[in-house]
Amino acid sequence: AVTDIIGGITGGVGGNPLDAVTDIIGGITGGDLANNPITGAIQTGIDILQGVESLKTEIINTGINTVADTIISAVPQVEHPVGDLADLGTLSFETSRDTVNGTLEAISDLSGGDLSGVLESATGVVGTLINNSSSAADILQHITNDFAFGNPIDIATGVIDGITGSISGSPLGSISEIITNIGNGFDSGDVISGIAQPIQTGITNANLAIDTLQDNLTNLASDSTFETIDSLINVNLGGGDYHISGSVDSILNAITGTVSSTIAVGEPNPNGGSVTDLISLPSQLTSLTDNLFSSINHF
């Protein structure tokens, strides 16, 4: 039964069954396992994976270099930092590719029973990591030096130079030229005039208002101040015997009356009698006092 099983696996057993087992072990350790269909399928798969990894790395690194070259062509002053960054990127993907492919190669060697090949592939992977790490450190140091020792003004000037094409003379002059181009022919006088015109219009209108006010004040002050005020007021009071109509001056005369005397203050009346006899009161005030006090003699 055992012989039949082994025969089914190996395709037939001729002679001692132990010889068949020995042949299998010999195939594994003797290196002819590559002729086995299983080993061949494994190797084919590894070859495909290695090809895909290499193609992927080539595509990515080509893209990195294309972008870097485009930037450097537009702004030559940033060649070193951009170029170094591109080198660092491509180195990273190359390291990934070599590490993956080296590991796959070690698996292939192991499947073929090639122990020396496995050791060699593993050693190559470790060497790749060490060498590429050293290269990456050098690139990083170079990038650091580019930014640490470069003059920021020179870098900025270089960027502007790359954008504008060239800078001759002061960089500020070039910036002014850029602003002028952006302005596209705007006249600064027109801009100032457009701002000042509404202000001037407002000032002119204010001056006209002040002039009008001054003219009115001048006309008002052309006569006596009190006469002007007096002419503005006209009062009509009552009717009949006690009708009062006229200006403030007329009303005051009606109330206070008039005083006519040639006697100085404090002198006696030369004609005799009291000083009050010389005071003449208008009829309106006399009638008013008569009505209030029955007779002026009460004074």
Greatest alpha-carbon pair distance for the chain in Å reads 192
With tokens 């790359």, the residue in question is: 162
Token pair recorded at residue 94:
């190359």
pLDDT beneath 50, residues of the chain: 29, 31, 226, 242-243, 258-265, 275, 278-285, 295-296, 298-299
- What is the pLDDT, as a whole number, of residue 60? 93
- Looking at residue 62, its pLDDT comes to 94
Residues 6+ apart with CB under 8 A from 3: 13, 17
Check residue 280 and give its pLDDT: 47
pLDDT number for residue 278: 47
Dist CA 89 CA 78 (whole Å): 17
Residue 173, Cα to own-chain centre: how many angstroms? 25
What are the DSSP E strand ranges found in the chain? 235-237, 244-246, 258-259, 279-280
- Residues 6+ positions from 259 with CB-CB distance below 8 Å: 278, 279, 280
For residue 88, what are the contacts with CB-CB under 8 A and spacing of at least 6?
A: 136, 139, 140, 143
Integer angstrom CA distances of residue 145 from 50, 78, 80, 142, 244: 37, 13, 10, 5, 109
Distance CA 178, CA 173 (A): 9
Q: Which H, E and C letters describe 118-135, residue by residue?
A: HHHHHHHHHHHHHHHHHH
The number of helix segments (H) and strand segments (E) in the chain equals: 11, 4
